[in-house]
A = this chain, B = another copy of it.
């Protein structure tokens, strides 16, 4: 294994940063808390965007773009919203050499600026639903930052919809939650628990917040995406009204929802190992790397021609392939390098392979298999599909084997301290019990899973009668 990466088992946090820097996903920027997303990391984000954007458009959503700057007074209109965001907003007070009359907030999220426009655009029930999404950058001034997981600026998509009825808004929030779950599980190969947040963890200004929670390699939770039923809170604050079929003017019902570049952090932490990244084929910028092997110039010429020809035939099947023709690195270096970068499949091609009309196919972390040239393209397609499934099943088995159902608070507190993991605990839904858990164990109530079975019994903290088991974990 490359010596310059900290072992995952030794220091998960150091390992995480090492992998991101060495695989060139991102780098620290010379501005506090900001990062640069390097081309390899950005290609991953482009694949995430392309696939998720497709799912959103299939379901009738359209993209738009709203301004970066929000007048301070807008932020203040929804009370819970400004309380939540005021401590972490960056503020523009000057332009050129002039002080601004009203300070402008660099958007931490766009509810307020968007709904001010919705109020202008919406007149009739015929104007509904509005199903707008945008892909953009947002800024939240964070004191403790970590690459991809928590940075001052990050990239995301934020969807904002308006509907005529509560039922439609609730259905939309759940539809999006389903899209997120499908996307994260099928394309990122990361199993998630979809559920509803307790009151204390709701989005600032939401009526109800849904979440998809994933388990990272250190058994901590990551909130991978959220979908909010905003009720009429913002509609009332921004006067988003429509005239209904019955002639009455009514406030719209709204939702907002988003996933961000932190999904890249999740990919690292769920699939990575001591050798580096392991990227699921569906989003890997390079799905197949061909490493030609030669000694003489004549051999070099032959294997490069053959490698390019294989690459061409794979590209015709829409497979993302790269030929590593660097002549200043050793073959061993190249193998390590592409493992570090998480390329799911390596194809080795030397003069002897050419003579036998075969290539060696090496799924990342597995043994070599000689495959005849005629069968190569089919074999590779099948392998990519197998690896995608394998990664998901492996991650799901990991999550399941590290999720525990407990009724003893002391045991929970001891185990989460030493081992981490997800705990299914009964909770009475009182804030005091939630607070005790947070303060004593640093764990939070991640969510009540959708369709959680009724499991009546005593609250794990206070023994009061409780109906459901919440998922409790330490989280990023």
Contact = CB atoms under 8 A, between A and B. Distances in A.
A43 B69 contact: no
The SS class assigned to the A binding surface is mixed
9 contacts: A29-B66, A29-B67, A31-B113, A36-B65, A36-B117, A42-B65, A89-B96, A92-B106, A106-B106
Interface in A95-129: 95-97, 103-104, 106, 113, 116-117, 120-121, 126
A92 B90 contact: yes
A62 B97 CA distance: 36
A46 B31 contact: no
A62 B35 contact: no
Nearest to A91: B94
Contacts of A103: 94
Given A29-B66, A71-B30, A96 B92 contact: no
Contact of A30 (B31, B35, B116, B152): B116
Interface of A: 27, 29-31, 34-39, 41-43, 45-46, 62-71, 74, 86-97, 103-104, 106, 113, 116-117, 120-121, 126, 132, 136-137, 139, 141, 152-153, 155, 328
A68 B91 CA distance: 13
User: Top 5 closest A-B pairs, CB basis?
Assistant: A95-B141, A39-B62, A34-B67, A37-B65, A91-B94
Contacts of A91: 92-95
A41 B134 CA distance: 13
A114 to B, nearest CB: 8
Contacts of A139: 68-69
Contacts of A66: 29, 36-37
Contacts of A117: 27, 29-30, 36
A239 to B, nearest CB: 13
Contact of A70 (B31, B46, B68, B97): B31
Given A46-B63, A63-B39, A66-B36, A141 B96 contact: yes
Contacts of A65: 36-37, 42, 45, 155
Most chain B beta-carbon neighbours within 10 Å: one of A34, A116, A155:
A34
B104 A95 contact: no
A336 to B, nearest CB: 18
A232 B31 CA distance: 24
A88 B96 CA distance: 5
A443 B92 CA distance: 35
Contacts of A69: 31, 34, 90, 139, 152-153
Contact of A64 (B30, B42, B88): B42
Nearest to A116: B30
Contacts of A106: 68, 92, 106
A113 B30 contact: yes
A33 to B, nearest CB: 9
Nearest to A126: B328
B94 A86 contact: no
A35 B35 CA distance: 27
Given A116-B30, A136-B137, A62 B74 contact: no
Given A46-B63, A106-B106, A71 B31 contact: yes
B64 A39 contact: yes
A198 to B, nearest CB: 26
Contacts of A113: 29-31
A469 to B, nearest CB: 37
